[in-house]
Chains A and B, each alone.
Chain A
Amino acid sequence: MLSLKMALRSISSNKLRAMLTMLGIIIGVMALVVLVSLVSGATSSVTDAVSSLASDLLTVTISDDYGYPVRLEDLDDWSREKPEVGSMAPTASASVTGKYGAESGTFTVYGTTPPYYEIEGLQLTMGRFLNRADIENNTRVCILNYAAASDLIGFVDCLGEELSFNGMKYTVVGVLSEDENLLTAVLNGSYVAYIPYTSLMRLSTTVTEAVTGFVVSPGENTAVDQTEAVLDGLFNERFQEDEDAYSIRSMNVMEEAMSSITSVLSILLGGIAGISLVVGGIGIMNIMLVTVTERTREIGIRKAIGASRGTILRQFLMEAVVLCMMGCAIGIFLSWTILRIIGVVVSSLSMRFSLNGTVVLISVLFCFFIGVVFGLYPANKAAKMKPIDALHYGG
């Protein structure tokens, strides 16, 4: 306690120098805490976005059907027969030019069936999604995303309006809710329309009755892994045990990939910030060496009246550690302030940045460690001084 008091007194006796010395640590801590907190904030919002894309969704792609193509009826049969399989919906897409009056734009058109709505977790703002009759009759109806309705058509309440995709007229029967999810907006581009799968077969030459891609949701009370295993068995049998003929991907894989990318990013940024902390520590060591030289006489007096080596060592070590910890505290406070400001500035991106508890703890421990490591040499130098030499130093 007493050495803490002495350390605080000695630091406060030269505030400007203490502040400049701490600056290295302050900047290092700020770099560490702000960068890692930003990455983890971005990660959590991206992860949220990915999981809101329905993380228990399986995407199946068939590259070689060995003469047993998967048909729309097969999808319906499987989802009826297999309890592990919830719903299945084909997905095929084409990029087409959409025209409404004089306005035109590039659309991503998805051809699918009614279960798609549930599997993908879409939200309608008005109208309806596709129904059975649309599929059976190849009806030329479409459901637009919010951006397409509001930007291209010009008004959201556009049910019954007609627009053309590559010259074929389609009637708008539904409009999706405004996309709040940043990621889906980026992935889908601006204009998206959903039309019956059978209708897309007419619009695009590459889309045929043989379904090559579809999405699957797991059955009730079934884990995604189980569903995946059932599908795996099914296709393995159908495609002559050629595992390269098809692929089943779950969104979990994507989440895992995301989290490994971001953790690598965190470690990388943290490492760079760690280097700046070490540089700050060298600054502390430098100034502590100056302090020890300046106070040689004081060390001599203290030793003459009975301070042991350990006492002197503790005193100067404490000073270095206190300097580091004060810098650390200021750094954390400034980081908190900066993160609050960033949070306000980017509030529109629906990302939340807050002080990451783990990195705060790590930076506190790291600062303490740096204080001890870089304080030890100057403190030891002070402790090793001979009392007579120190007493007669400089007069």
Chain B
Amino acid sequence: MIELNNVSKIYQIGDERVRALDHATMHIYPHEFVSIIGPSGSGKSTLMNIVGCLDTADDGLYKLDGIPIEDYSENELARIRNEKIGFVFQNFNLIAKMSAEENVELPLIYQGIKRAERQARVREALEHVGLSKRAKHQPTELSGGQQQRVAIARALVTKPSLILADEPTGNLDSHTTKDIMEIFHGLHEQGNTIVLITHDNDIARQAKRVIHILDGRLTEVSL
């Protein structure tokens, strides 16, 4: 499903070269629920960007669904993100001027799916996260937990191979965190592959497999 082999990423910040990922190797198989844990500055975001095809590696090989992600054009990467990956971000990243259902609909529009099918799938996704009644609300009219649920609906509406969640509960209180994590567990039970990036041990431990990242190096801890 996800194959990282000796992947490195180096940033040039001023005169300093920062090795954000140092020969990282990891394999994630279909239907797994994996969490990646590490303190801030450990290379989590870089890993997430590469796995999410938002950025490309400087060195090493990355295969998603058996397809090597290298030397792809920007537009091809956009298509891969659209079809294979569902993103859930810490700060929700909903488009403020659009209602919940329009936000969820957006990736389907980019796939060129017809209106009737789009609406059916949006309804289904919102039902899945328990937000059918709030479909017409704008993000500013929703609570943090509700916004994150809209974001999850947007991530799963395309039926992606992988749901990639970057600190999905980082901005939420403990009660809401529990709700959101339940949704992730539910999604996993339905057969979705989930990669969850966090700095919180309690959250990480809820996954079946935990990978530690420190200074750009990965170490696996099996539970």
> Which residues in A have some Cβ–Cβ distance to B below 8 Å?
2, 9-10, 13, 297-298, 300-311, 386-388, 391, 395
Complex interface: chain A residues within 8 A of B89 (CB): 391
CB-CB < 8 A to A387: which residues of B?
54, 78, 81
Q: Quick one: CB contact mask for B89-107 with A, threshold 8 Å, 1 for yes? A: 1010111110000000011
Q: Which residues of B contact A305 (CB under 8 A)?
A: 81-82, 87, 106-107, 110, 154
With A298-B95, A388-B49, A395-B91 in contact, do A304 and B74 touch (Cβ < 8 Å)? no
**Known contacts A10-B97, A298-B95; 20 further A-B pairs (Cβ under 8 A):** A2-B109, A13-B97, A297-B93, A301-B94, A302-B110, A304-B52, A305-B81, A305-B82, A305-B110, A305-B154, A306-B78, A306-B110, A306-B111, A308-B74, A308-B79, A309-B75, A310-B75, A311-B110, A388-B54, A391-B93
Per-residue CB proximity of B66-81 to A under 8 Å, as 1/0?
0000000011001101
- Give the size of the chain B interface in residues (CB under 8 angstroms): 26
Q: Does B83 belong to the interface (CB within 8 Å)?
A: yes
Assembled-state Cα–Cα distance A308/B95 (Å): 17
Beta-carbon nearest neighbor of A390 in chain B:
B54
B215 located at the interface, meaning its Cβ lies under 8 Å from any Cβ of chain A in the complex: no
Chain B residues near A388 (CB, 8 Å)? 49, 54-55
In the complex, the chain B residue whose C-beta lies closest to that of A303 is B78
Beta-carbon nearest neighbor of A298 in chain B: B95
Q: How many A-B residue pairs have CB under 8 A?
A: 60
Q: In the complex the two chains form, is A307's CB within 8 Å of B97's CB? A: no
- Shortest Cβ-Cβ A-B pairs, 7 listed: A306-B82, A306-B110, A308-B75, A305-B107, A308-B78, A301-B93, A388-B54
Given the complex of chains A and B, what is the CA–CA distance between A304 and B106 in angstroms?
A: 11
Q: List 15 A-B contacts (CB under 8 A).
A: A13-B97, A304-B87, A304-B93, A305-B87, A305-B107, A305-B154, A306-B78, A306-B107, A306-B158, A307-B82, A308-B78, A309-B74, A309-B78, A311-B110, A391-B54
Which of A297, A306, A310 lies in contact with B81, CB distance below 8 A? A306
CA–CA, A387 to B74, complex, Å?
10
Which residue, of A13, A298, A306, A309, has the highest number of chain B Cβ atoms within 10 A?
A306
Which residues from chain A contact B158 at a C-beta distance below 8 Å?
306
Contact with A along B105-134 (1 / 0, CB 8 A): 011011100000000000000000000000
Most buried by A among B79, B83, B89, B93: B93
A307 and B91 contact, CB distance less than 8 A: no
Complex alpha-carbon distance, A386 and B55, angstroms: 9
Chain B residues with Cβ below 8 Å from A13 are 97
Assess the A304–B75 pair: CB atoms within 8 A.
no
A33 to chain B, nearest CB (A): 34
B110 pairs with A308, CB closer than 8 A: yes
Contacts of A308 in B (CB 8 A): 74-75, 78-79, 110
A175 to B108, CA, bound (A): 84
Separation of A243 and B106 alpha carbons in the complex (Å): 82
A307 lies within 8 A of B110 (CB): yes
Residues of chain A within 8 A of B96, CB atoms compared = 298
Chain B nearest CB, measured from A96 CB (Å): 81
Cβ–Cβ < 8 Å partners of A391 in chain B = 54, 89, 93
Q: What is the CB-to-nearest-CB distance from A170 to chain B, in angstroms, rounded to a whole number? A: 85
Residue of A nearest to B81 (CB): A306
Known interface pairs A2-B109, A9-B97, A298-B95; A307-B78 also in contact (CB < 8 Å): yes
Q: Roughly how many angstroms separate A13 CA and B93 CA in the complex, as a whole number?
A: 19
Q: Which of B21-63 contact A (CB under 8 A)?
A: 49, 52, 54-55
A contact residues around B55 at 8 Å (CB): 386, 388
Tell me the nearest residue of chain A to B80, going by C-beta: A306
B-side contacts of A309, CB under 8 Å? 74-75, 78
- B83 near A306 with CB under 8 A, answer yes
**Most chain A Cβ neighbours within 10 Å, of B83, B107, B109:** B109
From A2, A10, A304, A307, contact of B54 by CB (8 A): A304
Residues on the A chain within 8 Å of B95, using CB:
298, 301-302
Instruction: Indicate if the CB atoms of B75 and A302 lie closer than 8 Å.
Output: no
Is B81 a contact of A304 with CB atoms below 8 Å?
yes
